[in-house]
Structure 1
Amino acid sequence: MQRDRDSPPDSIAKGIMSTLVPSPRRHHPGLLLSLLAGAQFLVVLNTSIVNVALPVIGQDLDLSPAGLAWTVNAYLIAFGALLPLGGRLADLLGHRTAFLSGLLVFAAGSLAAGIPSGAGPLITARAIQGIGAALLSPAGLAILLAHRPPGPSRGRALGIWGAASAAGGAAGVLLGGMLTSTLGWWAVFAVSALAALPCLVATPLLLGRGERKRTARLDVPGALTVTAGLTLLVYGLGADGATPLPDFVLPAAALVLLSALMPIERRVRNPLLPPALLRNRSLVTGNLLMLLLGAVWVATFFFLPLYQQKVLGYSPLEAGLTQLPLAAALMSASWGAGRLSKTLLPGLLVLAAGLLWLARLPVGGAFLADLLGPSVLIGTGLGLAFVPLTALGVAEAEPRHAGIAGGLINTSRQVGGALGLAVLSPLAAPATPGLAALAHGYRRALVAAALIALVAAAASAVHLLSGRSGVAEPLPGRS
């Protein structure tokens, strides 16, 4: 007679182990969500935390203006360009494996960046941070989707994840200023390395040993094409005369590469971007709208601090502190959007109204009279729109494509930000010297950003009238 698979002592041992390391699906959904939200907070935090420290870094390491710019761009370009590849690797390797690997790479890059050693090592370390973030972010979103079934629970989880993203972006300027003023610029990077440690410890405990994946060959031609195309696009849009080439050359080359992607994908066995995925109407709509929202989002956080410092005379730390109401509204709205339905269109309309109100910027503006009200409206609109757009972009993706869907929606936001700055920055440039001309330039840029938000609102209204909900329900996955 064959012995039972689990003898009584084995059953007791397994029971003890399940108590010590319980399944996140049944026992610790809150802890798992905290882990995923914390990792996303770190990823977004590092897009802005270094900005305030740049003058001190330049002085200590004797960096040129180009070196300082690359201290920021190395992270942003690596992160934005590698997101699709990171999402696809997460689907091929397993989301838990990709998440843990991304954490390790991100922590190593953060630790290396905090060691004063010169321009080359610092820029390299920032690029390593971006590589880790490009693997970590889509894998984390895919894990969230896998552990939260469609419905109110997933909506609440996406709301918290979106609030963490908002908190990371808002905390960067404030935390960077505080750390640089008290401990030194190295602490800006060391804090990310230290914060990654508890995430590294918690990941194996909360996610177990991870799922086994069948070995699949990576689509190397597609990976090289999309990564090179996005790198040229993001860098080219932000180069602003930093290369001897005309400004249009790099974006044009990027478009040529990206247009060649689909013919390549139709010829490979395991495409990086499965053509069927790009026929998903909700995914395409979500990414196009996220492109527009990303343009407005980045432009707002770019032009508002400049107005505060160059026109109103705020210090960097004062500019960061006065953006706290915007950040609080953004976080609250993101959290609330996960508990409500169809907040996309109202959010975009509120965002446009806040930008138009802010565009009244006077030269001698006061915080309470001219900044507080529109800041709260803008933060509310961004939060109400960001969460349903994220959900729309990933809702109909099959589980085996969750990583690449998460990578695409994050890529759209990054590329949208680069596009927004490329289009709106010339509008903000003053035609004549003086504070009045400078304020007028910022007004033009903010009005244009409001128009972009209204275009997104009109597109979302068409999407809703066509019979789709603000957050699409997923299609049944195919094995």
Structure 2
Amino acid sequence: MPTLDDPPATLPPTTSGRLTGRLGLVLVVLLVAQFMLAVDFSILNVALPVIGRGLGFSLGGLQWIATSFALAAAGFTLLFGRIADIVGRRRLFLAGLAVLGAASLVGGLAVDPAMLLTARVAQGLATAAVTPAGLSLLTSSFPEGPLRDRALGLNGALMSAGFTAGAVLGGVLTDLLSWRWSFFLNVPVAVVVLIIAPTVISESRDETRPRLDLPGALAVTLGLLSLVYGLTTAGEYGFGTTRALGGLLAGVALLAAFYFVEKGSPQPLVPVRILRRRTVVVGNLAGLLAFVTETSLVFLMTLYLQKVLGFSPLAAGLSFGVLGLGTVTGGVGAARVIGRIGTTGTLVTGGLIQAAATVALVGLGDSRSWLWLLLTATFVGGVGNMLVIVGFMVTATSGLPDAEQGMATGMATMSQQIGITMGTPIMSAVVTARAGGATDPAVILHAVSLAVLVNAAVVLAGAVLAGVFLRARKDA
């Protein structure tokens, strides 16, 4: 079995270094779908107050527009990843896209909170199905080596850029047209992908057709739902509240139960031997921390831009275009970096770059003359973060047979979505603990600076984790 830093195996000319016409079309279709899903995570954030006024949401109910999506997307992703292995990845990919298009149409036509939240849950379920299915189609279409690394780099870059683009698009669409276009935008894209995908993407599944491990699926799904609920509740009410603690403890208990269920299952959802693979465990932890830190940094810098510098939501969103450029730059160059220093070196180097860029943001002041520092640091940090994300994707899916790619990419997607969900509540709790209910810009600036330091420490921990445990594997 290859190690992380072994040279790639020799591949046929059509797949070793060249992207054939058909593979190029496969890549475009899958990347467009993944970009659209990433946009959905953030496109409504800026529009929440407008939606609340238009549909009659209470102030406390607004957070459920995001939470309902996150609960479904993170809670069901591992289950759908395994279902993709059984029923066929292309089949689940297309079914999920159809649900996403229909749910987006319903969301855009919503007339009350119940209709909108139903659409958001359906969008989350569609995301939980399409993301791991699409990613496993990508990894099974491109053999391990430079071509897969390049494809994963582009995928990671567009996913991260999509999260940033969502904030920008949400502001532009809400200001120029209506928040409803944040939903409607998905419909034509889904239709086009549904028309093209069946003609270029081959079906991929585990030919042994294993039975679905229902006890394991129930334990992991309820555990993830509880964990995400506890985290989102903590972001609103604090980690010491009964609801937050109850959700977090229930999530931990159910995930522990999941491990023991899998240990005794003849056909487990996730084989315990996979959970014992250092590349899978450490790779997913590194990826989770990468998503925790970069997405929550967007939240912290939004606070800084709006509460300290007085930017409008649209201007703040546009400021993150530089971060998007950084992530695209990192994603495009990641395959070349992996080819030179290996995946472990890429994980560590990317983490150190991101940590240094994040620490630099502690120097931000209370005037707009400091904007140059924010733009420079977020660009550099975006490059480093994307090196980590691509390194994590390659690490967590390498050395596994095609029959287990849906499960492996399901775990990777789960790490991504939980990381996105965890980051903002954690950093919000740090800011709230330091600033309390203060509205003074100086107090908020100090609170944001503390949270930035915590963010940088988490990034550094991920780099150390990868360097120690994955390097130890190579030297063993």
TM-score, length basis structure 2: 0.89
Gaps of 5+ in 2: 1-18
Deviates more, 1:420-429 or 1:49-58: 420-429
Residues 368 and 266 of structure 1: CA distance in aligned 2, closer, same or farther (over 3 Å): closer
Match for 2:404 among 401, 406, 428? 401
Same amino acid, percent of matched pairs: 36
Match for 1:29 among 23, 26, 34? 23
Q: Does 1:119 align with 2:117?
A: no
Distance 2:347 2:123 in 1: 32
What residue is the counterpart of 2:307 in the other structure? 310
What residue is the counterpart of 2:453 in the other structure? 447
What residue is the counterpart of 2:16 in the other structure? none
Distance 1:49 1:288 in 2: 26
Residues 445 and 403 of structure 1: CA distance in aligned 2, closer, same or farther (over 3 Å): same
Match for 2:440 among 413, 434, 441? 434
2:107–2:116 Cα contact (<8 Å) kept: yes
The Cα shift of 1:210 comes to: 5.8
Distance 2:97 2:361 in 1: 38
The Cα shift of 1:164 comes to: 1.2
What residue is the counterpart of 1:267 in the other structure? 264
The structure with more radius of gyration: 1
The Cα shift of 1:64 comes to: 1.0
- For residues 256-299 of structure 1, the C-alpha deviation after alignment (integer angstroms, 9 at most, x for no partner) is 11111122123333211111211222111101111221221221
Q: Does 1:392 align with 2:359?
A: no
What residue is the counterpart of 1:91 in the other structure? 85
What residue is the counterpart of 1:59 in the other structure? 53
Distance 1:40 1:270 in 2: 30
Task: Tell which has more relative contact order, 1 or 2 (C-alpha 8 A, sep 6+).
Answer: 2
Alignment of 1:329-340 (within 5 A): 329-340=326-337
The Cα shift of 1:36 comes to: 0.7
More helix by share: 2
What residue is the counterpart of 1:47 in the other structure? 41
Residues 246 and 122 of structure 1: CA distance in aligned 2, closer, same or farther (over 3 Å): closer
- For residues 337-359 of structure 1, the C-alpha deviation after alignment (integer angstroms, 9 at most, x for no partner) is 02221322111111011111111
2:283–2:466 Cα contact (<8 Å) kept: no
Residues 352 and 26 of structure 1: CA distance in aligned 2, closer, same or farther (over 3 Å): closer
Distance 2:251 2:171 in 1: 36
What residue is the counterpart of 2:3 in the other structure? none
Counterpart of 2:363 in 1: which secondary structure? coil
TM-score, length basis structure 1: 0.89
Computed over aligned residues only, the root mean square deviation of the Cα atoms, in angstroms, reads: 2.0
Counterpart of 1:80 in 2: which secondary structure? helix
- For residues 151-206 of structure 1, the C-alpha deviation after alignment (integer angstroms, 9 at most, x for no partner) is 11111111111111022111101111111122211111000122111110111111
Alignment of 1:354-373 (within 5 A): 354-366=357-369, 368-373=371-376
Distance 2:301 2:205 in 1: 45
In structure 2, give the amino acid aligned to 1:399.
Answer: D
Q: How many residues align?
A: 446
Distance 1:158 1:367 in 2: 35
1:170–1:324 Cα contact (<8 Å) kept: yes
1:280–1:396 Cα contact (<8 Å) kept: no
Counterpart of 2:337 in 1: which secondary structure? coil
What residue is the counterpart of 1:283 in the other structure? 280
Distance 1:109 1:433 in 2: 38
Distance 2:128 2:194 in 1: 17
Distance 1:242 1:464 in 2: 38
The Cα shift of 1:397 comes to: 2.3
The Cα shift of 1:216 comes to: 3.5
Alignment of 1:24-423 (within 5 A): 27-208=21-202, 213-240=207-234, 245-341=242-338, 342=342, 343-366=346-369, 368-423=371-426
The Cα shift of 1:407 comes to: 1.2
1:162–1:335 Cα contact (<8 Å) kept: no
